[in-house]
Amino acid sequence: MYESENKKFLDMAQEVMGEAHTPETITALAKHAAELVALRGSSAGAPDLVSIGTRISECLYLIKDAVVATAGDTLESRKEAAAMCFSFLAKAVEMPRRRAAVHAHRRTIQGHRPRPERHDRP
C-alpha cells in the first residue's frame, strides 16, 4: 500500500512539474504529499494545521525554485509556479486551491514570521 501511494505521488509530481524538475524536487514533493495526506487523516489540532501550512509552503518554494531556475525570476514564472503547486495539491492531496492558500497563510500568521512591533501607534 505504501509503495503504491509513494509511486502515485511521484507520478503526479512528475506530471505537474514537467520539464522544470530535478529528481530531488520530485522526491521531496512526493514526500510532502504523503505527509500532507497523513496529517489530514489525523485529528486536526492547531499544531497539525500549522504543519499542514508548513508542508504547503515548502511545496510552493520547491516548485518556485525549480521554475525560476529554468525560466528566470519573473512575475509570470512565479505565477506559473504557484499554479503548478496548487494543481499538484489538488491532484495529489485532493485539497482545493482556496483551502491550500488558507493553510499556507495560517502558517505565516501563527508565529513563524512574527510581525514587527509598531511603537508609533497608541
The pLDDT tens digits for 3-12 are: 677 788 888 8
72 backbone dihedrals φ, ψ, rounded to 5°: 90, 160
pTM: 0.71
What pLDDT does 113 receive?
47
How confident is the model over 57-81, as a mean pLDDT?
87
Average pLDDT rounded to a whole number, residues 90-111? 68
Mean pLDDT (the chain) is: 75
Q: Which grid cell is 4?
A: 503504491
pLDDT digits (tens, 9 = 90+) for 10-41: 888 888 887 667 788 888 888 888 888 887 77
Diameter over CA atoms, the chain = 58
